[in-house]
Amino acid sequence: MNKRIEDAFNEQINEELFSSYVYLAMAAHFEGQNLEGFTNWMKLQAQEELAHAMRLFDHVNRRGGRVVLGAIAAPPAEFGTPLEVFEQALAHEEHITGCIHKLYGIAVEEADYPAQIELQWFIDEQVEEEENTGRVVDLLKLAGDNKSTLFMLDRELAQRTPEEDGE
């Protein structure tokens, strides 16, 4: 892989690790409020992001590139209501989708076909990420200030399990 692709992949590894950090911070926020389902959802999300970083890490190594890890920025420490947290999560996923699309554009410009194939998985994954996060945002909007609906939603999110393929 050429240097430009290598640098761009390394940047994306950092974005995915930062994503993991953001979701871990959100998990800590929910855990502090004893919202176990929301905590579970965020912890699994943090694990998924780590798996995304590892997927890119492996791709760089398999292609003879060199992984260079940079500093991971600190995530926010303070969060608002569950709706606000999930709106932030959705905005974050939209940002990541933009990063992946930009990265794919670079792979096209550089005619790096293996990178394009690898990134197609991420393009698809981002559709799923936005769909899943957006669904929780919609449910939280429906719940509004209704505490019992919020409680039921927390119970539902407690059911989320790690994906089979670890993605």
Q: Report phi then psi at 63, rounded to 5.
A: -90, 5
Report the nearest approach of Fe ion to the CB of residue 23 (Å).
Answer: 8
Q: How many CB atoms lie within 10 A of CB 46?
A: 19
Q: Which residue number, 35 or 50, has a Cβ lying nearer to Fe ion?
A: 50
Report the nearest approach of Fe ion to the CB of residue 51 (Å).
Answer: 8
Q: Which residue number, 103 or 106, has a Cβ lying nearer to Fe ion?
A: 103
Helix or strand holding residue 70 (H, E): none
Report the nearest approach of Fe ion to the CB of residue 111 (Å).
Answer: 25
Report the nearest approach of Fe ion to the CB of residue 49 (Å).
Answer: 5
Q: Which residue number, 76 or 144, has a Cβ lying nearer to Fe ion?
A: 76
Q: Which residue number, 49 or 154, has a Cβ lying nearer to Fe ion?
A: 49
CA torsion sign for 116, 130, 153, 30 is positive
Q: How far is CA 6 from CA 2, 13, 61, 131, 135, in A?
A: 6, 11, 10, 29, 34
Residues interacting with Fe ion, by CB under 5 A?
16, 49, 52, 129
